[in-house]
Amino acid sequence: MRAGEETLRRSIAAATDGRTRARLRVDLAELLRTRDAMAARTEIDRALSEGGASAAVTAAALSFARALPAGERLTWLSGLTKPEGKTPSPQLVSALGDAQLGADLPRDAALTWLALARDERVPLHHRRAAARKAARLGQRLSPADAALAASTAAELSVGQSRRGPRPSPHDLPAAAPPAAKPADAEPVIPKSVFTIPNTAGVARDPFFPTRIIQAEVPKPATTNTAARSTVSLSCLVLKGLSGTPSNPLAMVNGRTMGRGEDAEIVTDCGRLLVHCVDITTNSAIVEVGGERRELRLRSDF
């Protein structure tokens, strides 16, 4: 395993692209995880700094955070969500709010989620989820904070996102916001629908009158999803088992996973999103695309 670490370190030193170095650092962190957890977390920090909050880096960071004690998890996530010059991952910011709530800091958690909800660079579904989390803490917040959380959740739930920064909770009065005036009914604009016929010559394109419209031939549905899942599972190999009885770990195709974790694994069949269902003394049960398989250790490992 030390030889693999040295190979990855040389590849990282030779790589000129930040995203490539970040991906290699995630792989190196997985190798270091069982032997040197602190060094592994340092590689995740560097991957986030060099390549940004990609899906692979975010998944690895969340996996490492779940294995930390509550206090260390809060401290580490606080640092991960403040990358210099880069937009933090909404998943990591939401996880920071969960860690703050777990440490009995409901106001810190609510403000973290509200900051995420106010960030218009973040996809709308992440902003809505953060606003709902903050609103559910209403009884544990001050009246001003609770009013801000409730109004933000209500506004985002109907998609009426407002441009510009939202006011701080300290700038709002403690009174509840005024009731919204009923909006005037908007006229219904009919949609123009152009349907391609099943036989030629039945319809005409209004923009190109001389154009001949070909009949649309229905394509037969394919049902090869199960076959693809079976082929993908055949590319997964259990290469080792480690960890402790209470926290077992399995190495699948060079990627270390814990029970209940998800990981993106590179195989001969391509990149696969693998979910580790369970780990026993000599096997690991994984799931890909809704299909499960038990991977057993080979005799030559």
What is the mean predicted confidence (pLDDT) over 95-104?
84
- 285: helix, strand or coil: strand
- Residues 6 or more apart whose CB falls under 8 angstroms from that of 23 comprise 47, 51, 54, 56
- Whether the full predicted model's pTM is greater than 0.85, yes or no, is no
212-266 confidence digits (pLDDT tens): 555 555 555 555 555 555 667 788 888 888 888 888 888 888 888 888 899 888 8
What the block records as the tokens of 107 is: 């106001």
Distance, CA of 286 to CA of 241 (rounded, Å): 14
Per residue in 118-156, pLDDT tens?
Answer: 888 888 888 888 888 888 888 888 888 888 888 888 888
Q: Which two tokens stand for residue 183?
A: 């909006």
Write b or e for each residue in 93-128: b if 16 or more Cβ atoms lie within 10 A of its Cβ, otherwise e: bbbbbbbbbeeeebebbbbbbbbbbbbeebeeebbb
What b/e sequence results for 242-266 when a residue is b if at least 16 CB atoms lie within 10 Å of its CB, and e otherwise?
eeeeeebbbbbbbbbbbbebebebe
